[in-house]
Amino acid sequence: MKLTVRSNALLRPRLESPTFRPRLSIRGQLTHLRNTVPPGARKSLRLEPCTRLFEIMDESLIECIHATCSPTACSLSVAKVMEAHRAIDSVVSPSDLSPVQVADIAITSLWLHAEIWRACVTHSFLSASVQTPDTPELRIQYPVEVLGKVAYLLKTLPFASIHGNGRGMGHKLLAVVAAANTVLDLPEPPEEFDGVRSIEEGKVLARQVSAVGQSLVKEQYIRWEAPN
Ligand SMILES: [Zn+2]
């Protein structure tokens, strides 16, 4: 499976529409750009997005995230899940990336962490143990903590760098919110989160991130670089 197909496979269920054929730009190729590039923006031909990140997300893992894997043939394990989490963490941004690319890698990494957590839910990998220092990603509260990190990035990164990633970014933000909300809306949600003070704060952050995501998914373009 090509990397573009792989990244699309994760986004497509949310992007599918009769008029929109999503493509993320991979390996320096800007593969899809609508005519509605914002005034003043320039097309960048040097977009090198999250190639390595999507190499980590192999096809079987994507099937497991979508719960379309065969129950009898599925080979997903806790070890494989943790390997993917650590591999995502090991991806570092080269220093010459544009602000749009930096935002892309930072948010995409967090989004993929949350997507892998979804596979852990459907594959019953979550740990009931409170003491899981080596596997924080297997805790029920993990997506709320991812949401906290995303909200922090939205506050600290230049908005143009988020906005420049277009509607694909919007769908990633909404996917993180949806994962966090499954926990926040539990009848008896966990009460302690790293980096998020309370359920109430988590719900506030969910609304804030959701608002940004909702505005971005209405954009007509995938990605653009703001002029320097
Ligand atoms: Zn599976």
pLDDT of 155 strictly over 60: yes
Write out the two tokens for 169: 């970014």
Q: What is the 218 CA–ligand 1 centroid distance (Å)?
A: 32
| Å from CA of 71 to ligand 1 middle | 7
Distances (CA, A) of 83 to 76, 79, 207: 11, 6, 31
* 57 CA from centroid of ligand 1 (Å): 13
- pLDDT > 60? residue 165: yes
- pLDDT category at 113 given cuts 50, 70, 90 is very high
**Does residue 34 fall inside a structural domain?**
no
Q: Is residue 142 part of a domain?
A: yes
Q: Are 162 and 103 in contact (CB under 8 A)?
A: yes
Domain count, the chain: 1
Distance (Å, whole) CA 74 – CA 132: 25
Domain of 138 in residue numbering reads as 48-217
Residue 70 lies in a domain: yes
74 CA → ligand 1 middle, Å: 4
The more confident residue out of 82 and 52 is 82
Model pTM score: 0.80
> 35-44 long-range contacts, Cβ below 8 Å, gap at least 24?
36/220, 36/221, 37/221, 37/224, 38/221, 38/224, 40/226, 40/227, 41/164, 41/224, 41/225, 41/226, 41/227, 42/224, 42/225, 42/227, 43/224, 43/225, 44/98, 44/100, 44/224, 44/225
Task: Calculate how far, in angstroms, residue 143's C-alpha sits from the geometric centre of ligand 1.
Answer: 19
Residue 3 has a pLDDT of 62
- pLDDT band (50, 70, 90) for residue 98: confident
Residue 228 lies in a domain: no
For the ranges 46-50, 54-58, 59-63, the maximum mean pLDDT occurs at: 59-63
Q: Which carries the bigger pLDDT value, residue 43 or residue 221?
A: 221
Q: How far is the CA of 70 from the centre of ligand 1 (A)?
A: 7
Cα 60 to ligand 1 centroid, rounded to whole Å: 7
Q: How many angstroms is it from 56 CA to the middle of ligand 1?
A: 16
Distance 5 CA to ligand 1 centre (A): 19
In a domain, 167, yes or no: yes
Q: Give the Å distance between the CA of 89 and the centre of ligand 1.
A: 22
78, part of any domain: yes
Q: Is residue 12 part of a domain?
A: no
